[in-house]
Structure 1
Amino acid sequence: MTGASGGVGRATARAFGARGDRVALLARGREGLAAAADEVQRAGGEALVVTVDMADAKAVDDAAQQVADAFGHIDVWVNNAFAGVFAPFTEITADEFRRVTEVTYLGCVFGTRAALRHMLPRDRGTIVQVGSALAYRGIPLQSAYCGAKHAIQGFNESLRCELLHEKSGVRTTMVQLPAVNTPQFDWVLSRMPGRARPVAPVYQPEVAAKAILHAAAHARRREYWIGGSTAATLLANAVAPGLLDRYLARTGFDAQQDPGEYDGFGNLWTPADGAHGRDFGAHGRFDEEAVSDSPEGWVSRNRGRVGAGLVAGGLGAVVTAGLRRGGRSPSRRK
Structure 2
Amino acid sequence: MRTLPVSTDVADSSAVESAASHIEETLGPIDVWVNVAMATAFAPVSLLTPEEIERATKVTYLGQVHGMMAALSRMRGRNCGTIVNVGSALGYRSVPLQSAYCGAKFAIRGFTGSLRSEIIHDQLKVHLTMVDLPAVNTPQFDWALNKMGKRARPVAPIFQPEVAARAIYFAATHRRREVWVGFPTVKAILANRVAPTLIDRYLAKSGYSGQLTDEPLQPDAPSNLFEPVAGHFNAHGRFDDEAKPRSWEMFTDRHRTMFWSLACLGALSLAGLLRRTGSVK
* TM-score of the superposed pair, with normalisation by structure 2: 0.89
Q: Does 1:150 align with 2:106?
A: yes
Q: 1:236 aligns with which of 191, 194, 198?
A: 191
* Structure 1 CA distance for aligned equivalents of residues 93 and 124 of structure 2: 31
Q: Does 1:261 align with 2:216?
A: yes
* Structure 2 CA distance for aligned equivalents of residues 302 and 157 of structure 1: 17
The structural deviation recorded for 1:87 is: 0.3
**AA in 1 matched with 2:222:** F
**AA in 2 matched with 1:248:** L
Q: Does 1:287 align with 2:244?
A: no
What CA deviation, in whole Å up to 9, does each residue of 1:181-232 have, x standing for no partner?
00000010101121100010000000000000000011x3211000110000
**AA in 2 matched with 1:294:** S
* Structure 2 CA distance for aligned equivalents of residues 207 and 200 of structure 1: 15
Q: Does 1:124 align with 2:80?
A: yes
Give the greater-gyration-radius structure (CA): 1
| Residues 177, 252 of structure 2: 8 Å contact kept | no
**Cα distance change on mapping 1:307 and 1:246 into 2, 3 Å:** closer
**AA in 1 matched with 2:228:** P
The structural deviation recorded for 1:302 is: 7.8
Residue 46 of structure 1 corresponds to 2
**AA in 1 matched with 2:164:** A
Q: 2:11 aligns with which of 43, 46, 55?
A: 55
* Structure 1 CA distance for aligned equivalents of residues 239 and 61 of structure 2: 27
* Structure 1 CA distance for aligned equivalents of residues 70 and 128 of structure 2: 14
Secondary structure of 1:260's counterpart equals strand
Aligned-residue identity in percent? 53
Secondary structure of 2:3's counterpart equals strand
**AA in 2 matched with 1:296:** E
* Structure 1 CA distance for aligned equivalents of residues 166 and 255 of structure 2: 16
* Structure 2 CA distance for aligned equivalents of residues 302 and 133 of structure 1: 18
* Structure 2 CA distance for aligned equivalents of residues 238 and 106 of structure 1: 27
* Structure 1 CA distance for aligned equivalents of residues 255 and 200 of structure 2: 30
What CA deviation, in whole Å up to 9, does each residue of 1:51-108 have, x standing for no partner?
1100111111000000111122010000000111000011011000000011110010
The structural deviation recorded for 1:301 is: 9.0
* Structure 2 CA distance for aligned equivalents of residues 120 and 215 of structure 1: 20
Q: 1:112 aligns with which of 68, 75, 85?
A: 68
Q: Does 1:271 align with 2:224?
A: no
| Residues 32, 172 of structure 2: 8 Å contact kept | yes
Q: Does 1:210 align with 2:161?
A: no
Residue 195 of structure 1 corresponds to 151
| Residues 214, 301 of structure 1: 8 Å contact kept | no
* Structure 1 CA distance for aligned equivalents of residues 59 and 188 of structure 2: 25
What CA deviation, in whole Å up to 9, does each residue of 1:209-259 have, x standing for no partner?
0000000011x3211000110000000001111110000001000000011
The structural deviation recorded for 1:303 is: 3.9
* Structure 2 CA distance for aligned equivalents of residues 76 and 256 of structure 1: 33
| Residues 64, 114 of structure 1: 8 Å contact kept | yes
Q: Does 1:77 align with 2:33?
A: yes
Q: Does 1:186 align with 2:139?
A: no
Residue 135 of structure 1 corresponds to 91
* Structure 2 CA distance for aligned equivalents of residues 270 and 62 of structure 1: 20
* Structure 1 CA distance for aligned equivalents of residues 199 and 46 of structure 2: 22
* Structure 2 CA distance for aligned equivalents of residues 51 and 183 of structure 1: 18
Residue 176 of structure 1 corresponds to 132
**AA in 2 matched with 1:252:** G
* TM-score of the superposed pair, with normalisation by structure 1: 0.75
* Structure 2 CA distance for aligned equivalents of residues 251 and 157 of structure 1: 32
